[in-house]
Structure 1
Amino acid sequence: MAETSPIAIICGGGPFPFSVADAALRTGRKVHLMPIEGWADRDRVAAYPHDWVPVGQYGRMVRVARNAGARDIVFIGTLVRPSLKDIRLDWKTIKILPRIYRAFRGGDDHLLRNIGKIFEDDGFRMLGAHEVAPEILAPAGDAGRVRPSAQDIVDAKLGLAVLDAMGPFDVGQAVVVTDNVVLAVEAAEGTDRMLQRIAALRRDGRIKVSAGRGVLVKAAKPTQDRRFDLPSIGPTTIANVKEAGLAGIAVRAGEVIVAEFTAVTEAADTANLFVTGLAPSSPP
């Protein structure tokens, strides 16, 4: 029997929360959004039942979810890790502050995994966005009309090997590889700013390779809790890859969220870029 209970969606920035909400609605489940103040898109949030929540008001999130009748919670969307001093605490958050402090003492996966455990201890079930909307994950194969070259595939597999090697250290989910050379590794700046860094290096003459070569590679960390913070691409990623002078994007299929798949494919075709999903069994 299909699940019909409501889902509470903690919404960061970007289009992903709404893709998940629409997917849940198509299956007959009600949704209640908990958009994070300062991050979620106010115009798009307005189309759904919602209650705004400030960063750090865990008690308010619990009340909103319970009032909506939701046991299942999804956390999806862009959110830069806040400083503890910038969090507006409510009383329930203050009571669990030692646990939150310990959660902050590690990488993003460590933080989100431990925040999820706090929700679970209050009786909620944390779901991955892909469990609600499996169609948002990148499929294997080429997404548009442009195909990667043999060298692009070699670069992509090198990128996956680099990401797999970094994974145990809870570092980044993206690299840029050109002609067997790693040009950039994603850290705290995120994918878009990493690509902007590549564009700046090219303008400054630090990258000598001609435009139209090189691959943005994205994949989940090998030990990552897949319920939280899966890597993603969207139309903005396509624009930044084009600006960086790369040939395209390679992701590990089934591990990367694609926001607005049709828009991504159309933008990639227009920009003459490839977008390809490498099967999980592909050797790195």
Structure 2
Amino acid sequence: MTLALIAGRGDLPALVASALQEQPIVCGYEGIDVTGVDVDLTFRLETLGSLLLALGERGVTEVCFAGGLDRPALDPIKLDAETAPLVPMFMQALELGDDGALRVVLQLFEKTGFSVRGAHELAPDLVAKGGVYSDQWPDAGMRADAEIAAQHILDQSPRDVGQACVVGGERVLAMETASGTDKMLSGLPGAAREARAILFKGPKKGQTMKIDMPTIGPETLDAAAAAGLAGVVVDAGDVLVLHADQCAARADAHGLVLWARTGE
């Protein structure tokens, strides 16, 4: 087995690579600052066909997507000959929501003969383990808010919006959009602080977990604290927690609850 790591922003690519027995072939998207691993191949949407060919020539049989990537725009001028036949599939993907586009990408790699492995499969220690990571524990109000948040994410799944929301006082105060979690937190109303609201993160119903598993890291705890929240709650088994020890330490430093809920 030879694996290619399609690497994006953040620490996830390096954490996945460190969990592997053999060094993967690292592919970085042009213009993305990939950290913690050395990039072997650089590509862009308009040269994806050539990348698939190059991976096949190098004996790659499996690929893993890890790290953040923005949805790219297609520039016809930069298309190469190997990628031009894929344009109809690209156009379909770009017209779909985030999860729909990721499904098209997943199908493209699988139809080309590659097995797509999720980061959670290759680095299972990163998956949220049920329980409370922080010194602070969730109270009854926070547990009720977490239940409402989890249901809200499921209810909003058909809209294909975000993987996170903010709930306080049993009211949904904000929902993540394509702009991301940080943007959502920066625009929270003052009621979030007063209600001791939580940031909840979990997968949408039917989400493409092999490519887009929800993720938190130490910066998530910093952002939640800056927004005046009382805690961060994730679904155990369905969310990646990067640098779990650091996350717990940040939660304690900020006086936050960090909880991976189970059984709901």
Whole-Å separation in 2 of the counterparts to 1:38 and 1:52: 9
Q: Provide closer, same or farther for how the CA distance between residues 276 and 77 of structure 1 changes in structure 2, counting only shifts above 3 A.
A: same
CA contact 1:39–1:78 (8 Å) conserved in 2: no
Q: Percent identity?
A: 34
> Pick from 30, 35, 45: which aligns with 2:28?
35
CA distance in 2, matches of 1:72, 1:274: 38
Aligned to 1:177, the other structure's residue is in SS state: strand
CA drift at 1:97: 0.2
2:25/2:40 contact within 8 Å kept: yes
Alignment gaps of 5+ in structure 2: none
1:3-42 superposed matches below 5 A: 5-24=1-20, 28-42=21-35
Q: Distance in 2 between matches of 1:209 and 1:229?
A: 29
Q: Give the structure 2 partner of residue 278 of structure 1.
A: 261
Task: Name whichever of 112-121 and 52-61 sits farther off.
Answer: 52-61
> What's 2:194 paired with?
210
Please give the residue correspondences for 1:1-284 in structure 2 after superposition, counting only pairs within 5 Å: 5-24=1-20, 28-42=21-35, 44-46=36-38, 50-85=40-75, 88-198=78-188, 201-202=189-190, 207=191, 209-210=193-194, 213-279=196-262, 281-282=263-264
Deviation at 1:86, TM superposition (A): 8.4
| Deviation of 1:148 (Å) | 1.3
What letter matches 2:194 in structure 1? S
Supply the AA of the counterpart residue of 1:239: D
Distance 1:196 1:76 in 2: 25
TM-score of the pair, normalised by structure 2: 0.94
* Cα distance in structure 1, aligned partners of 2:70 and 2:7: 13
Give, in whole Å, the separation in 2 of the partners of 1:155 and 1:230: 22
- TM-fit CA distance, 1:80: 1.4
- Give runs of ≥4 in structure 1 deviating > 3 Å: 85-88
Distance 2:118 2:207 in 1: 12
Distance 1:187 1:80 in 2: 13
Alpha-carbon offset, residue 69 of structure 1: 2.1
Aligned pair count reads: 264
Deviation at 1:87, TM superposition (A): 8.8
Give the Cα–Cα distance (whole angstroms) in 1 for the partners of residues 144 and 125 of structure 2: 27
Kept in 2: contact 1:233–1:258 (CA 8 A): yes
Inter-partner Cα distance in structure 1 for 2:99 and 2:78: 22
Amino acid across the alignment from 2:105: I
Distance in 2 (CA, whole Å) between partners of 1:20 and 1:87 is: 34
Provide closer, same or farther for how the CA distance between residues 182 and 65 of structure 1 changes in structure 2, counting only shifts above 3 A: same
- 8 A Cα contact 2:50 2:83, kept in partner: no
Matched AA of 1:150: A
Aligned partners of 1:79, 1:227: CA distance in 2, in Å?
A: 14
Measured in 1, the distance between the counterparts of 2:213 and 2:227 equals: 23
Return closer, same or farther for 1:9/1:208 CA change in 2, 3 Å cut-off: closer
Give the superposition deviation at 1:209: 4.6
RMSD: 1.8
Q: What is the deviation of 1:34?
A: 0.4
How far off is 1:37 after superposition? 2.1
Q: What secondary structure sits across from 1:96 in the alignment? A: helix
Secondary structure at the aligned position of 1:57 is classed as: helix
- Contact conserved, 2:215 with 2:241, CA < 8 A, in 1? yes
CA distance in 1, matches of 2:144, 2:85: 51
Query: What is the TM-score when the length of structure 1 is the normalising length?
Result: 0.87
- Could you report, residue by residue, the CA deviation over 1:178-197 in whole angstroms, capped at 9, with x for unpaired residues? 11111100011101111111
In 1, the alpha carbon distance for the partners of 2:133 and 2:193 equals: 26
SS class of match (2:148): helix
